Structure 1
Amino acid sequence: MQPLFNFLGQFHPLSEGFINYHLENCKFIDVKKNKFILSPIDNNNYMYFLLKGVVRGFVREGKKDISTWFSFENELIAAIRHPNQQSKHSKEYLQAVEDCKLICIPYHNVDLLSIRYPETSLISRKLLEMQYHAASERSILARIPSALERYIKLESSPLNINRIPLRFLASYLGIRLETLSRLRHKSVIAVH
């Protein structure tokens, strides 16, 4: 659990009660490569802290998977969840791109922690700011009209794209796999 506490502690010092609450209420899971962490048929009761591996979020449009984000070690991840929490399911899938080890954090923790431990509100606000920024970056990337320019922007992002299978990158960029192969070649030529 220490990596989770290190991550959260960068936003605000954690009280002993806050730490103990997580120790008592969170659990660890291991998910094999290509398996789902969450799908629309599962109850969306947890957010996750990724200890090891790579995860992608995606939605299905007909028979087509559309990758919407990728996450790496020491990141907090969650599926799309409506703020009023009426639905217990998400239309989003979370899939292990590599073998993963995660900490499951129950959503009900957040509400209870907010009442008991004041640092929760500040940490939640900082996490929301980070998620909003990441979503804005993804939104900008998706709106770049040129596929080559989208790929070049993705290459210059902090994402370690070498750990992501090309078919998922192509889906993320909204292009076919063959197009991605050509763009990668053009990008190498443009750099040299």
Structure 2
Amino acid sequence: MKAWIDYVLQFGNLDKPSLELVISSANEVSLHKDEYFSAAGRVPRQVGFIVEGVIRGYYYDNKGEEITRCFISENSLVVDYVNFEANTSSSEYLQACTDCKLIAFSRQNWEELSQTVVGWDNIKNKMVQICMYQKSRKGPVISQNATTRYMEFMENYPSLINRIPLAYIASYLGVTQQSLSRIRRGIR
């Protein structure tokens, strides 16, 4: 819970009773590798903060191929916020790449904090902006060659290289797993 409180306090100050209310509104949640935090076709029902682990955002293209759009790791919010706010079905999946520990808020608890904690909306808005930015970060530029895309991935996500399956990295880069293996061998 300390990591969550430290994260929140980066965006504004809360007095002790307000902090206690934020803490009491949250639940600790564990996701096993491959479990879903939220799924396409369903309305997102919770906002999470990743204490430990990695979650990926992905969708299926019009050919039915799985496309990894982003990776979200420790000390970050995880939510399909646009659909969460609009109470509409999501078109993407948020799936654990590793076992994960999260601090999670139900829709009701998340909304009640806005009504009861002075300054929460300002803090929440800043956290959500960062979350939206992280999820919308453009994937690799397909016009670049695959090696360049992989090198940029290693630069942008150095802590993920050995933590997540190569199939997810390949999907993110827009290459086959075999091509990614060749690229990795060529870099060593």
Structure 1 length-normalised TM: 0.82
Q: Residue 18 of structure 2 corresponds to which residue in structure 1? A: 18
Q: Residue 67 of structure 2 corresponds to which residue in structure 1? A: 66
Counterpart Cα distance in 2 of 1:56 and 1:109: 25
Q: Contact 1:80/1:90 (CA < 8 Å) preserved in 2?
A: no
Counterpart Cα distance in 1 of 2:139 and 2:171: 16
Q: Residue 149 of structure 1 corresponds to which residue in structure 2? A: 148
Q: CA deviation at 1:140?
A: 5.9
Q: Contact 2:78/2:131 (CA < 8 Å) preserved in 1?
A: no
- Which residue type is aligned with residue 69 of structure 1? C
Unmatched segments (≥5 aa) in structure 1: none
Listed one character per residue, the Cα deviations across residues 129-181 of structure 1 (whole Å, up to 9, x for unaligned) are: 42354356x31634553221111111111442221110000001111111111
Q: Contact 1:110/1:120 (CA < 8 Å) preserved in 2?
A: no
Listed one character per residue, the Cα deviations across residues 29-71 of structure 1 (whole Å, up to 9, x for unaligned) are: 2111112222125431111111222211111235322111112
Counterpart Cα distance in 2 of 1:110 and 1:34: 25
Counterpart Cα distance in 1 of 2:118 and 2:142: 39
Q: Residue 79 of structure 1 corresponds to which residue in structure 2? A: 80
Q: CA deviation at 1:86?
A: 4.2
Unmatched segments (≥5 aa) in structure 2: none
Out of 107-116 and 32-41, give the one that drifted further. 107-116
Q: CA deviation at 1:85?
A: 0.5
Q: Contact 1:47/1:76 (CA < 8 Å) preserved in 2?
A: yes
Counterpart Cα distance in 1 of 2:112 and 2:30: 26
Q: Contact 1:58/1:68 (CA < 8 Å) preserved in 2?
A: yes
Q: Contact 1:148/1:183 (CA < 8 Å) preserved in 2?
A: yes
Q: Contact 1:57/1:79 (CA < 8 Å) preserved in 2?
A: no
Superposition RMSD on alpha carbons, in Å?
2.4
Listed one character per residue, the Cα deviations across residues 78-113 of structure 1 (whole Å, up to 9, x for unaligned) are: 1253476041x2111111111111111234444443
Following superposition of structure 1 onto structure 2, how do residues 76-155 of structure 1 map, counting pairs within 5 Å?
76-79=77-80, 81-82=82-83, 85-87=86-88, 89-135=89-135, 138-139=137-138, 141-155=140-154
Percent identity between matched residues is: 27
Q: Residue 164 of structure 1 corresponds to which residue in structure 2? A: 164
Structure 2 length-normalised TM: 0.84
